[in-house]
Amino acid sequence: MFCESPMYEDLERILLSKEEIQARVRELGEQITADYRDDPPVLVGILKGAIVFFSDLIRSIELPLTIDFMAVSSYGSSTKSSGVVKIIKDLDHDITGKNVLIVEDIVDSGMTLSHLKQVLATRKAKKVSIVTLLDKPERRRTNLTTDYCGFQIPDAFVVGYGLDYAEKYRNLPDIGILSPKVYDL
């Protein structure tokens, strides 16, 4: 039941409840359905953080879309975003002439998606757009803009609904701010 999981003890507070998230994902699905009615998109989920959002979003889009996945690492050896994206898992299908919609969990500096968008554009996609569940605009270091955004959030480290800290908390149904005591240990 709600808040019974010990994972909740590691949260400073819940930022977005599962009800708020579900309602917003439905709205995004309706908007995407309307916008892509004449040319259904290929939805490209970015592993692993976007998986929960991705699985809810595709079921909110009432179009014969197709799906694919990529896994990228935006950080080299340091913890600072370098802007260089290493592709760990590439798409399975050709996107030439397709309407591509990248599905991301969160945009922070924007470095990862700026680079990824360029990479996919070189593959002669018809159009490459972005839907992100969360956006931290204060942290932006590029001029990346998103086409669809679930929520703008403050500059805090969040987990849950697919987002992790050290691979944990992805299965939390809500999104919460991780308590600093967890990473200050």
Query: Which residues are designated catalytic?
Result: 108
- By CB under 6 A, tell whether 158 contacts ligand 5GP: yes
Q: Answer yes or no whether residue 99 interacts with ligand 5GP by CB under 6 A.
A: no
* Dihedral (CA of 144, 145, 148, 152) sign: positive
Query: Which one of residues 21, 25, 111, 116 is an interface residue with ligand 5GP (CB under 6 A)?
Result: 111
Which listed residue (40, 41, 45, 110) binds ligand 5GP by CB under 6 A? 110
CA 71 and chain centroid, separation: 12
Q: Provide the CA 101 distance to its chain's centre, in angstroms.
A: 11
Closest by Cα among 70, 36, 32 to 51: 70
Q: Which region, judged by CB under 6 A, interacts with ligand 5GP, from 59-67, 86-94, 120-128, 159-167?
A: 159-167
| 135 near ligand 5GP, judged by CB under 6 A | no
| Binding footprint of ligand 5GP, residue count (CB under 6 A) | 18
- Stretch 33-92 residues interacting with ligand 5GP (CB under 6 A): 49, 74, 81
Q: Is 12 in the site for ligand 5GP (CB under 6 A)?
A: no
CA 1 to chain centre: 26
The CA distance from 1 to 83, in Å, is: 40
Strands (E), the chain: 11-16, 42-47, 66-73, 86-89, 99-107, 127-135, 148-152, 158-159, 175-178
In the complex, minimum distance from the CB of residue 147 to ligand 5GP, in angstroms, rounded to a whole number: 16
Residue 163, interface with ligand 5GP (CB under 6 A)? yes
Q: List residues near ligand 5GP by CB under 6 A.
A: 49, 74, 81, 104-112, 157-159, 163-165
